[in-house]
Amino acid sequence: MKKLVLQLVFGFVVLPSAVAGALYYLNQNGFFNVEKVEIVLEGATSGQEQFLKPHVNELETVLAKYKGVSLWNIKLKKMSSEVSSFDWVDTLNIKRMWPTALSVRVRPYEVKLLFMAKGGKLMPIIRDGTFLQEVDSKEAPDVALVEGEVFLKKPELRKKAVEVLEQIPSEGSFSKKTISEIRYDSKEGFWMTLIKTGVQVKMGEDQMSLKAARVSQVVDYLESRQFDARVIDANLSKKVLVRLRKDP
């Protein structure tokens, strides 16, 4: 019985105390001080690199203050609040990587569109129509511009523009990659400009997937016949109307 009591005392008192003492000693001597803060981007899409790079560099600068601080003393909730304050951050996860590192996994918002503000600055637009902080053109992602003051004043229209763009395929003769600008008319709906030819495409406000497929076929036909179009009107029930450069 006495032997059992001694074993229990050792197991529940002496051993934990020894471990705690060892950890305290190591902590006091800097064994758990942060040497590396690793930032990992998750889900970043192609074409967003030049937009994300300066933001990641800024985040690295902000988090550099944690280097040399013991992992035991870092409050992850406070650190998460700091990272979340960056408007380009969608979701995040922070973990202690024992004994000397922090892992910061960040999922950035994908920039869907850009709006050109006064002075030439570009305002990124994310999926819910919200603006992010202005950026220079050299830092802007490769996405289409929305044109017109109406987009500045109406966040719901920016969201609608994103929804419209999402219905257009990523590849093909008429796709997200081939559109340079999007504008909106209260009577005619959405208009899009093609990068390569400057052709204006009238899309309206509904059935975007169907209309995009029709426009893609028309663009292929025009290129094969070397016709110089200026307007493609896809906002018709069952057909697409093309106006050539020489038409009135």
Length of the chain: 248
| pLDDT tens digits, 217-242 | 999 999 999 999 999 999 988 889 99
Tokens of 7: 């074993």
Domains and CATH numbers, the chain: 36-108 (3.10.20.310), 113-244 (3.40.50.10960)
Q: What predicted TM-score, i.e. pTM, was given to this entire model?
A: 0.87
pLDDT of residue 10: 40
| pLDDT tens digits, 135-178 | 988 899 999 999 999 999 999 999 999 999 999 999 999 999 99
Find the helix or strand (DSSP H, E) in which 185 lies.
strand 179-185
Q: Are 111 and 16 in contact (CB under 8 A)?
A: no
Tokens of 175: 């796709």
Could you tell me which of 232, 237, 150, 148 has the C-alpha nearest to residue 193? Answer: 232
pLDDT of residue 19: 59
pLDDT of residue 227: 92
The CA distance from 1 to 16, in Å, is 22
pLDDT in tens, the chain (248 residues): 545 444 444 444 445 555 566 656 666 777 889 999 999 999 888 889 899 999 999 999 999 999 999 999 999 999 999 999 999 999 999 999 999 999 999 999 999 999 988 778 899 999 999 999 999 888 999 999 999 999 999 999 999 999 999 999 999 999 999 999 999 999 999 999 999 999 999 999 999 999 999 999 999 999 999 999 999 999 988 889 999 987 65
pLDDT of residue 145: 97
